[in-house]
Amino acid sequence: MDLQLTGRSALVTGASRGIGLATVAALLDEGMRVVAAARTITPELAAPGATGITVDLSTTDGPARLVDRAEAELGGLDLLVNNVGGGDADAGWTGGFLDRTEQQWHDAFDLNFFAAVRTARAALPHLTLGGGGAIVNVSSTSARTPHAGPVTYSTAKAALTAFGKALAEEFGPRGVRVNTVSPGPVRTDMWEGPDGYGAQLAASMGLPQEQLIDGLPETAGMVIGRIVRPAEVAALIAYLGSPVAAGITGADHVIDGNSVKTV
């Protein structure tokens, strides 16, 4: 299927690995010009052919500076993919509500919610110019099942999902579509990295990390029998950001192997 993205421009945040890196590759394959933003430009990100920009989007001024540089580099902006999220090793992935510090709440919201708010605020004036811009926010099924993840992360992602719905309503009449993609467990560093949620969860359960990941599809009720791949999420993002999906806006698209059982 031709997604009609050739020659269009995109900005992808959190692009150095996982879903972000796969999204950069998918958009480049569709003929887009891509600015890829990350705190660190990895060799994997430098290889595909996107323009890498180093930025910390958890800061108040980082998103605006990023959008200014991206717009100057691309000469316009058709698609924003707000993918940055997750957290660092000290994010406090395990434990309960009373274990979370004030700073961990601030850090979780700065990275998983306010980074998208600030980047969208800076990008929307550019996205409205062509009359056909799009935003895709990457949330999580934790927004729908907050008991299944760290309370700080789940709550921030729930706010992000609501934010996308509100933006779609306000900016739809101005030609900008806004959709949310909510993955379940995906083969990324969040689950497989030595300092991520998967590693800390396995340690708290007294299990080897590999054993936890191997059993995750069954534990999470994923009927496909495996964890979702980053490229599969990236394909959905590319479709939603394309003119082919012109009738889709304000929706939250779950991609989780049917681990979320509610409608």
User: Active-site positions?
Assistant: 153
Tokens of 175: 């030609």
Nearest 10 degrees: Cα torsion 224, 231, 236, 41 = 140
Query: Cβ distance 223 to 147 under 8 Å?
Result: no
Contacts of 207 (CB under 8 A, 6+ apart): none
**C-alpha to C-alpha distances, 182 to 138, 160, 168, 262, nearest whole angstrom:** 6, 10, 16, 14
CA 93 to chain centre: 18
